[in-house]
């Protein structure tokens, strides 16, 4: 049984700073170097990441909710010596047996199972592993300890952040990489639409994916409020993921948006609505302006997808296509429909394994519908990125047309992508075709 | 009779001819036309972005290499200046006019703690809030089948 409590908890920033310090010190003292973070979206996930940044440790963002065999495989690939995981998310015995390199384990205990003693190591197993719980590390210290962030050391080399691309590839992101991704996201939207203090940002995709993580960091840097929901990334139902709060900006998976589109389309299928829809689509595509609510469109407000507790609050949806990863395609028509159903603008980005943040993304004000291609157009490069296309046997650049093959190359700390998309209308379908 | 008088007479006859045939249908057509015009004026809105900007979202470099396309960049980071690679962080005491540091992850958290900056770079004290959303109607079965997801508290 699960109680239905639509509620949220506000965490004090100073308290998180203290947790960053205490967790960072604890990991460091126990000889941690490579810290695997296997957590759902939560304050602890964020705290663990920043603890690694401040205490010179390498964070490894491992996907949550994987079978134990997969976790062990991932740990072996990234050579983790420390694991931070939600308590009970995998059997302790199995991991110590099949992964002897493990030196310490930090369980994050949720409210419901705090009374249990998770430190107790089963006899005969894992004697060498230092097991502790997150809550104990925090509570064992005086409240005054660890309230100040460590002094800045600019001399030391910054540790990389490791993450897994859905194909299983382990990608190392330098901090310069991540920062340029954040900077690109901050400056690639028009000034009036940037993330501000007034926004409430909710990642509905798992933070172990680099694109939602970079956007979350960008929101944090913009001093927006940020909400975490542990079901994010595990459900494709936006209604469930946004229960109890009213976000203004979300980052969602293409699957979640496709589901929302399908459901709304089924619900809003009456002839009268299709006339209203036609007028609103005309406003978007012909006039290039977000449709305003009219008496007619308000009649259908009860059928619109429920994203957050206050209808109309949501203003921006980020969604990304991961290059080379099979995912639900979003066509320009679907995106246009979703703009009408949700009343929010949508940024459709193209991401690549070695690039933090986005490579290209559609303009915030770009509502154009470009034919019946499988994928919508992906827009222009973000400000931290430049792209060019290399010739292939099929696609050669001429003086009129820019075209070529998708390949990726990293130069300096910045991000350069060699791809076949022209950022001009008409040629984007080419990119979509070659990425499938 | 001069040419002008003849013209004025013709005009007078034409106008009288047209107005003389005015009836209920003319009124109807007239009302419809005016309504359409008023609707167009009221409902017409400026596009959010100029169509020209939408058509030319990326900026190609003036030259390209053999076998490659031109290099495309965002209009906000034009060719000739470095790409936008950092957060332009200025530590206390740094010159107002100097280019700031790119920054690293620690600077992101320091900004969260310190609060927002206005255009002059002064702290506004606007600190974001961090929420954890609890509660869900749906129980998601964990793959081990032994544990509820932590949102069901």
Please state, rounded to an integer, the average pLDDT across all residues of chain A: 83
Indicate the pairing of strand A345-351 with strand A225-229.
unpaired
Judging contacts by C-beta atoms under 8 Å, the chain B residues touching residue A177 are: none
Quick one: DSSP state of residue A90? Answer: S
For chain A, domain boundaries: 13-159, 174-376
A340-399 residues touching B, CB cutoff 8 A:
363, 365-368, 379-391, 396-397
A contacts of B81 (beta carbons < 8 Å): none
Which residues are B131's β-sheet partners?
A: A10, A227
| pLDDT average, residue stretch A120-127 | 52
Indicate if the pLDDT at residue A425 is higher than 60: no
Task: Give the pair of three-digit tokens for residue B122.
Answer: 């002064």
- In terms of CA atoms, which chain B residue is nearest residue A51? B106
Rounded distance between C-alpha atoms, residue A19 and residue B130, angstroms: 14
Split at pLDDT 50, 70, 90, the class of A353 is: confident
Q: What is the pLDDT of residue B135?
A: 59
pTM over 0.95: no
**pLDDT for A374:** 80
Among 3.40.50.2300, 3.30.565.10, 3.30.365.10, 3.40.50.980, name the CATH number for the domain at A174-376.
3.40.50.980
Cα–Cα distance, B13 to A253 (Å, whole number): 71
Residue A71 to chain B, least CA–CA distance (Å): 13
High-pLDDT (> 70) share of chain A, %: 85
Residue of chain A with shortest Cα separation from B63: A399
Q: Closest residue of B to A362, CA-based?
A: B57
List, as ranges, residues 49-68 from B with C-beta within 8 Å of A: 49, 51, 53-58, 60, 64, 67-68
Supply B68's token pair: 């490659």
What average pLDDT does this structure show over A35-46?
A: 94
Query: Contacts of residue A118 in chain B, CB cutoff 8 Å?
Result: none
Q: Give CA separation, B115 vs A221, B88, B127, B130, in Å.
A: 9, 16, 4, 13
Give the range among A37-51, A93-107, A142-156, A177-191 with minimum mean pLDDT.
Answer: A142-156
Judged by average pLDDT, the poorest of A38-42, A363-367, B125-129, B147-151 is B147-151
pLDDT exceeds 50 at position A64: yes
The yes or no reply on domain A13-159 and CATH 2.40.50.100 is no
Per-residue pLDDT at B136 exceeds 80: no
A155 phi-psi bin (left φ>0, alpha ψ -120 to 50, beta other)? alpha
Could you tell me the pLDDT band of residue A252, with boundaries at 50, 70 and 90? very high
As a whole-number percent, the residues of chain A with pLDDT over 90 amount to 43
Rounded distance between C-alpha atoms, residue A42 and residue A49, angstroms? 11
Q: For position A220, what pLDDT does the model report?
A: 95
- Angstrom distance (rounded) from CA B37 to CA B31: 10
Tokens 């590390």 locate to: A137
How many whole angstroms separate alpha carbon A349 and alpha carbon A253?
Answer: 11
Answer yes or no: same fold for A13-159 and A174-376: yes
pLDDT band at A333 (very low <50, low <70, confident <90, very high): very high
Q: Is A235 on the interface with B (CB under 8 A)?
A: yes
Of the residues B45, B103, B105, B124, the best mutation for testing chain A's interface (the one with the most A CB atoms within 10 Å of its CB) is B105
**Which of B128, B143, B149 best tests the A interface by mutation, with the highest count of A CBs <10 A?**
B128
For A250, the enclosing helix (H) or strand (E) is strand A249-252
Taking only the tens place, the pLDDT of each residue in B77-131 is: 888 888 888 888 888 777 878 888 888 999 999 999 988 887 777 778 888 889 8
Which pLDDT value is given to residue A233? Answer: 79
- Residue A250, sorted as left (phi over 0), alpha (psi -120 to 50) or beta, turns out to be beta
Residues B52-59: what's their mean pLDDT? 84
Average pLDDT over residues A232-251: 86
With 80 as the cut, is the pLDDT of residue A416 above it?
no
Chain segment A161-214, per-residue pLDDT in tens: 999 998 888 999 999 989 999 999 999 899 899 999 999 999 999 999 999 999
With CA atoms as reference, report the closest residue to A231 among A219, A243, A246, A223.
Answer: A243
For B103, the closest of A86, A179, A423 (CB atoms) is A179
Among A263-277, A415-429, B37-51, the range scoring the smallest mean pLDDT is A415-429
Please give the average per-residue pLDDT across A82-104, as a whole number: 87
User: Is A61 an 8 Å CB contact of chain B?
Assistant: no
Strands (E) in A235-300, as ranges, are 249-252
Partners of B141 on chain A (C-beta within 8 Å) are none
Q: Which of A146, A383, A401 to mutate to test the interface with B (most CBs of B within 10 A)?
A: A383
Average pLDDT of the residues in A249-272 = 93
In a 10 Å sphere around its CB, with 0-12 CB exposed, 13-18 middle and 19+ buried, how is residue A67 labelled? exposed
Characterize the bridge pairing of strands A316-322 and A249-252. Answer: parallel
Give the model's pLDDT for residue A206.
Answer: 93
| Chain A nearest CA to B36, separation (Å) | 15
> What pLDDT is recorded for position A360?
87
Q: Averaging pLDDT over each range in A24-28, A90-94, A230-234, which range is the top one?
A: A24-28
| More confident site: A7 or A62 | A62
Query: Which residues in chain B are closer than 8 Å to A19, comparing Cβ atoms?
Result: none
Alpha carbons A15 and A328: distance in angstroms, whole number: 40
Residue B107 with chain A: CB contacts under 8 Å: 179
Q: Residue A9: its pLDDT value, please?
A: 79
Residue B73 in contact with residue A359, Cβ under 8 Å? no
From the list A62, A54, A57, the residue with the least C-alpha distance to A20 is A54
Q: How far is A418 from chain B (nearest CA, A)?
A: 9
Three-state secondary-structure class, residue B8: helix
Quote the CA–CA distance of A70 and A77 in Å, as a whole number: 11
Choose from A175, A179, A234, A392 for mutation: most chain B CBs within 10 A: A179
- What is d(CA A169, CA A422) in angstroms, rounded to the nearest whole number? 27
Instruction: Find the Cα–Cα–Cα–Cα dihedral A338, A340, A342, A345, rounded to 10°.
Output: 80
Q: Let me know: does A286 contact A238? Beta carbons within 8 Å.
A: no
Q: Is the pLDDT of residue A406 over 60?
A: no
Question: How far A124 CA sits from the closest chain B CA (Å)?
Answer: 23
CB A386 within 8 A of CB A416: yes
Min Cα distance A408 → chain B (Å) is 14
Decide if pLDDT at A417 tops 80: no
DSSP string of A364-431?
Answer: TT-----TT-SS----EEPTTEEEE-B--SS----SS----B-EEE--TTSEEEE-S--SSTTTHHHH
Distance CA A362, CA B74 (A): 11
Q: Is 80 exceeded by the pLDDT of residue B138?
A: no
Is A70 in the B-facing interface, judged by CB distances under 8 Å?
no
Residue A8 sits at the chain B interface (C-beta within 8 Å):
yes
Distance CA A69, CA A51 (A): 27
Whole-complex ipTM? 0.85
Query: Which chain B residue lies closest to A360 (C-alpha atoms)?
Result: B74
Which pLDDT band, with edges at 50, 70 and 90, does A423 fall under?
A: very low
Report the pLDDT value the prediction gives residue A179, as an integer from 0 to 100. 93
């Amino acid at each position: 049984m699960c109680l239905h409590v639509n509620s949220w908890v506000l965490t004090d920033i100073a308290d998180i700073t203290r947790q960053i310090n205490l967790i960072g010190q604890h990991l460091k003292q126990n000889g941690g170097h490579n810290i695997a973070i296997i957590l759902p979206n939560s304050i602890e996930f964020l705290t663990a990441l920043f603890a690694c940044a401040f205490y010179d440790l390498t964070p490894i963002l491992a996907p949550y909710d994987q079978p134990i065999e997969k976790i062990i495989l991932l740990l072996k690939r990234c050579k983790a010596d420390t694991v931070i995981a939600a308590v009970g998310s995998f059997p302790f015995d199995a991991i110590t047996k099949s992964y002897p390199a493990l030196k310490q384990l930090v369980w994050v205990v949720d409210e419901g199972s705090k009374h249990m003693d998770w430190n107790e190591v089963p006899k005969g197993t894992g004697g060498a592993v230092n097991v502790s719980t997150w809550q104990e590390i925090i509570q064992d210290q005086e409240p005054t300890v660890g309230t100040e962030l460590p002094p800045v050391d600019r001399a030391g080399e910054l540790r990389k952040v490791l993450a897994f691309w859905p194909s299983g590839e382990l990608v190392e992101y330098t901090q310069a990489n991540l920062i340029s991704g954040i900077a690109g996201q901050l400056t690639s939207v028009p000034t009036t639409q940037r993330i501000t203090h007034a926004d409430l940002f909710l990642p509905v995709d798992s933070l172990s994916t680099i694109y939602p993580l970079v956007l979350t960091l960008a929101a944090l840097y913009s001093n927006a409020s940020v909400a975490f929901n542990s079901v994010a990334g595990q459900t494709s139902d936006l209604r469930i993921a946004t229960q109890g709060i009213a976000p203004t900006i979300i980052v969602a998976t293409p699957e979640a948006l496709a589901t929302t589109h399908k459901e709304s389309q089924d619900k809003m299928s009456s002839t009268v609505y299709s006339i209203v829809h036609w007028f609103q689509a005309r406003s978007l595509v012909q006039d290039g302006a977000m449709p305003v609510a009219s008496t007619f469109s308000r009649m259908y407000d009860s059928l619109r997808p429920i994203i957050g507790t206050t209808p109309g609050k949501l203003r921006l949806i980020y969604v990304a296509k991961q290059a080379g990863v099979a995912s639900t395609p979003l066509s320009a028509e679907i995106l246009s429909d979703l703009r009408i159903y949700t009343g929010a603008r949508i940024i459709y980005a193209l991401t690549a394994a070695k690039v933090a943040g986005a490579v290209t993304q559609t303009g915030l004000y770009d509502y154009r519908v470009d034919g019946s291609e499988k994928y919508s157009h992906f827009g222009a490069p973000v400000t931290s990125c430049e792209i060019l296309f290399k010739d292939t046997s099929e696609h050669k650049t001429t003086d009129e047309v820019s075209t070529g093959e998708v390949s990726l190359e990293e130069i300096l700390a910045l991000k350069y992508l060699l791809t076949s998309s022209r950022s001009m209308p008409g040629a984007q379908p080419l990119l979509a075709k070659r990425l499938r | 009779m001069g040419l002008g008088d003849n013209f004025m007479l013709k005009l007078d006859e034409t106008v009288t001819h047209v107005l003389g045939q005015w009836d209920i249908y003319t009124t109807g057509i007239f009302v419809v036309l005016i309504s359409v015009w008023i609707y167009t004026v009221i409902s017409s809105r400026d596009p959010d972005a100029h169509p020209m900007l939408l058509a030319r979202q990326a900026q190609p470099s003036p030259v390209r290499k053999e076998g490659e396309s031109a290099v495309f960049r965002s209009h906000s980071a034009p060719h000739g200046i470095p790409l936008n690679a950092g957060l332009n962080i200025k530590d206390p005491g740094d010159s107002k006019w100097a280019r700031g540091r790119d920054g690293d992850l620690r600077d992101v958290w320091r900004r969260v703690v310190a609060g927002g900056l206005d255009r002059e770079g002064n702290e506004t004290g606007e600190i974001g809030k961090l929420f954890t959303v609890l509660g869900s109607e749906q129980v998601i079965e964990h793959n081990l089948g032994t544990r509820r997801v932590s949102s069901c508290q």
